[in-house]
Chain A
């Protein structure tokens, strides 16, 4: 028994590792393309995206060997079915969770629903510290723990569940590029507004983040987190940005997404992919979350096709054919 557990664990690690390296490589590429995105006009966004994609494909080719070998390795572990007691962990949804974590958590929940994989949502005050990567959400499946959307997508693929199987290589690269765009623009903007805008940090983020802790630990942890995020912002070059510039970046990002989506049902024809889950997670959370002002939500609400896209996914995957899924993020069964 013990031996088997150990074996599975190490396989689980192998499954997660390549995606991490891939993400790292990609972000290097992205950093070099980001200034280009920022400097161009909105109409050029599509052009930039294609450039972005080419760069991404280059990286992907260089990593292809590793990935291929690993995915073969992963396939051999796919035998185990999705367990009934799979659980997703996130911070306390009422009093603690912040916009960015809520968005990431919603994205993962949406993705798992799209894959028809039931998961129970568990709110823990220490979810961030339980996560192996220090980021929420993470899922506990069988005896494996996987955090963040990218690795979770890899993990479910290893289990034989994938939304992007039907895409060809170019489309897949395009999808990855847009996902990186969302992570690098929307997520970073959310973090910036939460922790670098003093009003939001003082009135919303710090009190919420530290709500489970008692004095004086609440202040220590909140300032520690703020300092950590600010250092990260400086590292990615957002430290000197003004709030207005960040809103502008959000608009540009939404513009790119809006143009790519056009009048389609999902980003890639009629099939949802992880990109749809990610975009929905962020946009839906932004428009439904009350911050100190509504500026962020208003910027996003300018794009009507993104709004109707969110509404559609909300109804399809979180809609209420039955009453119980009103508090739907906890329901176990698929709600298609």
Chain B
């Protein structure tokens, strides 16, 4: 990473007694170079030119925003620092495979004595990259083909296509991403997709075909996303034995929704954070832009992490959400909330809490869940500083509730409903961080407050998740 060459410094003077002796003998030009070297180290410099070598299809105007900072540098250390920042920015665009920085003294007729040229030697990514994966799941195998066209129009736009052909389902997704030049965080994307999901806990199969557009932008230290989504949803029973309540939900619907998400994330890592906090608020309004599904959905997620002595961390999280149908139509099984599983309320089976019919879980219109964790390093700390740091042991206490709201009872009644028959669980286990995207947990759980109809997982529970309580 980050090899910054400063060529001007290469012919460093050997400072020593002999050199001093020689210096007495030599004539004018020599002290001048000596003087120049001194200038570079201590005095002001001017960045006269910035070259970017190795550009093919990338448009130059987008790069000027990224490297503009380099011109503002006033001394050599600053030049190196700014160049390094510019290099990071260039790499973040996701259009270069390699970026190297060369700083040299200015050459040519208009070269100033304290002028510097900075050269970024870049290597663009290929026009198209592909990937091929095979996945094996429960009773299902699939082949995933991915195509990525980075820098499609020369301004860091990205076109990705993913196609998955499975023994049971095929899905695909096409996405176009465009950042605003100079502000990579402000970006815009369009997606078109078809996804099929099977939800055995509800005996439900859902096929979604949709398009969505979204705009992301930072405001102060928060990150916002505005999104419009139009989805044609097809629900069906997974088996003939599905309960009638699920059968009644079968068929087609069209959802058109506007949503807004706000995220504040000061954590140092998303999977096993040591410090920092996360606040996520999401709201979705469906039905005002067309379609035949109308509701207002609100949900939030809070996580706080505190460092304790002996490398242990205390972490607390709270989730909650509410779904309000608008108009006569009741909410759809596909929109409601689900709770339970190895990464939410542990000790309960996947999404197996709350309203159900003949063993098929129907989800709820309101929920909350909270958890307190004490993370500690592995006992005796094997593999410290390396592999062992991917693991943590944890002790946890989870609680939550999920229910339906019959509107008309008033907010007090709703709160009371959410406060009674709380499901909770406690236990301990081992957490493994998988890259920076997911984690695996192996826990011993003791579920409490089990209500009739809930499916529990008493004892050892294993699970993987991206989002966790």
Q: Give the interface of A toward B (CB within 8 A).
A: 2, 5-6, 9-10, 13, 124-126, 128-130, 132, 140, 143, 145, 212-217, 220-221
Contacts and interface: CB of A to CB of B under 8 A. Distances in A.
A129 B252 contact: yes
Contacts of A214: 254, 290-292
Contacts of A13: 240
Interface stretch (B212-220, B241-249, B312-320): B241-249
B252 A140 contact: no
A145 B237 CA distance: 13
Contacts of A213: 252, 254, 292
Nearest to A125: B251
Contact of A2 (B248, B252, B291, B359): B359
Interface size class of B (residues with CB under 8 A): 10 to 19
A126 B254 CA distance: 13
Contact of B232 (A9, A140, A145, A217): A217
Contacts of A128: 251
A9 B241 contact: yes
Nearest to B235: A129
B290 A145 contact: no
A156 B438 CA distance: 53
A128 B234 CA distance: 13
Interface in B239-271: 240-241, 244, 247-248, 250-254
Which of B235, B237, B254 has its CB near the most chain A CB atoms (within 10 A)? B254
B248 A130 contact: yes
B340 interface: no
B400 interface: no
Nearest to B234: A129
Contact of B251 (A6, A126, A145): A126
B358 interface: yes
Contact of A140 (B235, B244, B253, B290): B244
A2 B358 CA distance: 7
Contact of A130 (B240, B241, B247, B292): B247
A5 B358 contact: yes
Contacts of A217: 232, 252-254, 292
Given A9-B241, A213-B292, A143 B358 contact: yes
A244 to B, nearest CB: 35
Contacts of B251: 125-126, 128-130
A126 B250 contact: yes
25 contacts: A2-B358, A2-B359, A6-B241, A9-B240, A10-B241, A13-B240, A124-B248, A126-B248, A126-B251, A128-B251, A129-B235, A129-B236, A129-B252, A130-B247, A132-B240, A140-B244, A145-B240, A145-B247, A214-B290, A214-B291, A214-B292, A215-B290, A216-B254, A217-B253, A217-B254
